[in-house]
Amino acid sequence: MANLPSEPEFEQAYKELVSTLENSSLFEQNPEYKTALKVVSIPERIIQFRVVWEDDKGEVQVNRGYRVQFNSTLGPYKGGLRFHPTVNLSILKFLGFEQIFKNALTGLNIGGGKGGADFDPKGKSDNEIRRFCCAFMSELGKHIGADTDIPAGDIGVGGREIGYMFGQYKKQTKLWEGVLTGKGGSWGGSLIRPEATGYGLVYYVQHMIKYATNGQESFSGKRVAISGSGNVAQFAALKVIELGGTVLSLSDSKGAIIATTEGGIDAELIGLIAKLKLERKQLAEVAGTSEFSSKVKYVPGARPWLEVGAVDVALPSATQNEVSKEEAEGLIKAGAKFIAEGSNMGSTQEAIDVFEASRKTQKGDAIWYAPGKAANAGGVAVSGLEMAQNSARVPWTSEQVDDKLKDIMKNAFENGLQTAKTYVTPAEGELPSLVAGSNIAGFSKVAAAMKDHGDWW
């Protein structure tokens, strides 16, 4: 990569994968996989384009649009679209790279990709967002299709934006097909899709708790710190409450709310936050109201990890690198036994090193870490299920989708667990490395299929 511009997020994701592969017996048993690693680390295709649109004042605006079609070995490219001013090629390459192996862990036939634009939806009118989405899809639509590349939503892209883009795609192609996931329920969307990442995260951690405690414990009675306040955080929090846990925190880019009562952050408050986020408002704008101040305190400029006190489970569900080394050490001191990422690459490499060192040295008393590529795979899994429903022109009930999601998350956990035992044999009393197991399982599946296709030999 020495001849390329610096891409810190992508380089971090790449090094994190490589370090776990090299510190396992995978390359000893399959030395040819080193060649596969070189091939899989370069996107099959990167599409960059300008997006020209008109604001409400009639003034022309321009943004940069992207689609990284990273790997189609297991199926058509699949991954979200992010609209945020921080979007750049490094971030999209990191997300697309992670998506390859996350999608492999779902067991579904979907490849990896990611896309978006440096457009900021905040402060824009519905008409401005519609005009931007139509301009964006006018170019992106030339490069995607139901059997080629199926984008979904991500930060800044929800049901409204998916609807505008789907309408534009249909107008320019004359095709009604499952080219986007996260669609409205009355026109091809899947039930449980908005909830899927948060629900799936909690289902995954359920298996961690059950395994680590020999079935003696569950979410019941657990104190759970959650970051973020979007779909992932909201639905993870609701599922934790349903399973008997106490939610200690939520957050956004401006600060965190920390529970001040024994009941924690309840479902009623989460409903208020959901409404707030639909209005694109910050927690700071309502933290002082009676509905909030009677149940939580607001800590400006903070993430929740060092603010919540005693904690059993941590679920980073906001954005990348939201748990630092210092915060990792703080979580361990606060008693956390489980941490699983609802966000992509939610922990810095230094934080992961702290978690993995604890796993090795503290054994049964350690914190156990699960990476986002496994723990937050529920969202893309239900996107894959939405594709299946679109292809069959048959909608499934919420119970059917939820049951399939539970099975997918169980299989992702067990696949990572067993792969870790095979290639990174844990010491006696030591919990297996889920980060190593998930990386190796996802990579091995993709590498073997690429070889079958003649992509490397």
Residue 175 has pLDDT above 70, yes or no: yes
pLDDT one-digit tens code per residue, 316-333: 999 999 999 999 999 999
pLDDT confidence bin for 2, thresholds 50/70/90: low
As a whole number, mean pLDDT of residues 302-313 equals 98
Active site residue 275: no
pLDDT of the residue at 1: 52
Question: Is 231 labelled a binding residue?
Answer: yes
* E strand intervals along 144-267: 149-152, 223-226, 246-252, 255-259
- CA dihedral (42, 342, 322, 344) in degrees, to 10, reads 10
pLDDT of the residue at 125: 95
pLDDT of the residue at 208: 98
pLDDT one-digit tens code per residue, 184-203: 999 999 999 999 999 999 99
- Residue bearing the bigger pLDDT, 388 or 286: 388
pLDDT confidence bin for 430, thresholds 50/70/90: very high
Question: Is 99 labelled a binding residue?
Answer: yes
pLDDT of the residue at 279: 85
H or E segment to which residue 63 belongs: strand 60-71
CA 4 to chain centre: 27
pLDDT of the residue at 147: 96
As a whole number, mean pLDDT of residues 113-124 equals 96
As a whole number, mean pLDDT of residues 208-227 equals 98
pLDDT of the residue at 63: 98
pLDDT confidence bin for 423, thresholds 50/70/90: very high
Listed by start position, the domains of the chain span 40-173, 195-370
As a whole number, mean pLDDT of residues 307-313 equals 98
Query: Which residue from 80, 376, 332 is spatially nearest to 202, judged by alpha carbons?
Result: 376
8: left (phi over 0), alpha (psi -120 to 50) or beta: alpha
As a whole number, mean pLDDT of residues 59-76 equals 98
Question: Is 103 labelled a binding residue?
Answer: no
CA atoms within 13 A on the CB side of 97: 26
pLDDT of the residue at 278: 84
Question: Is 153 labelled a binding residue?
Answer: yes
Is pTM beyond 0.85? Reply is yes
Would you list the DSSP string of 110-178?
--EEEEEES---TT--HHHHHHHHHHHHHHHTTS-BTTTEEEE-BTTB-HHHHHHHHHHHHHHH---S-
Residue 447 has pLDDT above 60, yes or no: yes
Q: Which of 15, 34, 57, 114 is catalytic?
A: 114
pLDDT confidence bin for 245, thresholds 50/70/90: very high
pLDDT confidence bin for 59, thresholds 50/70/90: very high
